[in-house]
Amino acid sequence: MKDFQALIPIMAVNMLGAKLMLYLFIGAVSGSFLIIPRATSTSLPAEGSHHSETACC
């Protein structure tokens, strides 16, 4: 099964072409960078409320 998953990008390049596959890859990578600020802004208040005995106010 793992070998088949390694073939999926190669088959996609053969079917779509290298240039279109590059655009899709850039979109996927840049989309994953947008997840980091959202996850951080969600986890920081949760972690801050967890340690209420050390809070300043």
B/e letters for 10-33, b = 16+ CB within 10 Å, e = fewer, are eeebeeeeeeebeeeeeeeeeeee
The pLDDT of residue 6? 74
- Between 20 and 1, name the one with better pLDDT: 20
The pLDDT of residue 11? 84
Query: What's the pLDDT band for 2 if we cut at 50, 70, 90?
Result: low
The pLDDT of residue 37? 86
The pLDDT of residue 52? 57
pTM, 2 dp: 0.47
